[in-house]
Amino acid sequence: MPAPASSRPMKAVAVVGATGAVGKEIIGCLEQSRIQVGQIRLYASDRSAGKKMTYRGGEVELETLSDDAFRGVDVALFASEADISGRYAPIAVKAGAFVVDNSSAFRMDPGTPLVVPEINGALVTPDTRLVANPNCVAAILTMALFPLHLEARVNRVWAATYQAASGAGAAAVEELELSTRAFLDGKAYPPKVLPHPYAFNLFSHNASIDPATGYNGEELKVIAETRRIMDLPGLPISITAVRVPVQRTHAIAASVAFDRPITEARAREVLSQFPGLRLVDDRAANHFPMPVEASGKSDVLVGRIRTDLGDPSGRTLAIFIAGDQLLKGAALNAVQIAELAA
């Protein structure tokens, strides 16, 4: 049992990339966390130095990173690009901090745990100093796959993602808003941030395409990281990642094949009991997971559970998932990892 919050030692916590979308959410999650934050240090780019952000009603001045930034820091949460994390996370570890990195820098490093606490939190031990936070889709997808896998081994996954603008950053959200206004006003809006018109449109995820496989970088990340989180290195996964005109929260349609039949009723029971999941599966009302209901929420929503009619053996289920990629797909998951070491 974790110690009560009041009995835990106070921690000095650093947030790197504090002004970004994920960084801001990390700060909010820390305010609700079981971690006893005695001091918080917020780091951002040079242009933000000296500005202030709010934490627990007080103002905290933004600082710039340096090799000395992590002296006295107990926990460092990185919401930065991979190059920044790659340089400074080892410095933070050397300074004695427990580090959670949200970038791709360490996710496939065999010596660095890739963690979703409800699934493989046991990988975080007293000796662990650096943990990688997964890709947002991989974190959300595995939250639904893993409890089913405990019931019947997952043998194959087919998935399509419906990924929100906020996954591409604040500029993409602004482009969605501005282009939508322009469309409704009958005005042209040439895309500036994303490669295609965004208003009332959807398109293949904007990550670069691997010429050898035809899969884009986002899809390849999800495949590799899902296998690693689930500890199923050979799991066959096919995925198509799509950017949709939604401000926040990713959704996933998946068909999952198992090593033996699993009934819809049993799947609902298993999913409804798993921590961090909320079952939304009302056929009578045609009410299933939606971004509008998952946005800003800690739980991943799962539903639309049905036997896949393409597999007469009964070993394949179709499901639909929606999760806030800034929370369980990023900031919340990172803070939950930090709580494991608090």
Which residue numbers are catalytic? 136, 250
d(CA 144, CA 277): 7
Helix (H) / strand (E) containing 117: helix 117-120
- What 168-171 contacts at long range (C-beta under 8 Å, 24+ apart), as own/partner pairs, is 168/193, 168/194, 168/206, 168/243, 169/20, 169/21, 169/193, 170/20, 170/21
What's the DSSP call for residue 51? Answer: -
Give the Cβ contact number of residue 174 at 10 Å: 13
Nearest Cα residue to 116 out of 104, 100, 95: 100
The residues, ordered by sequence, that sit 6+ positions from 311 with a Cβ below 8 Å of its Cβ are 257
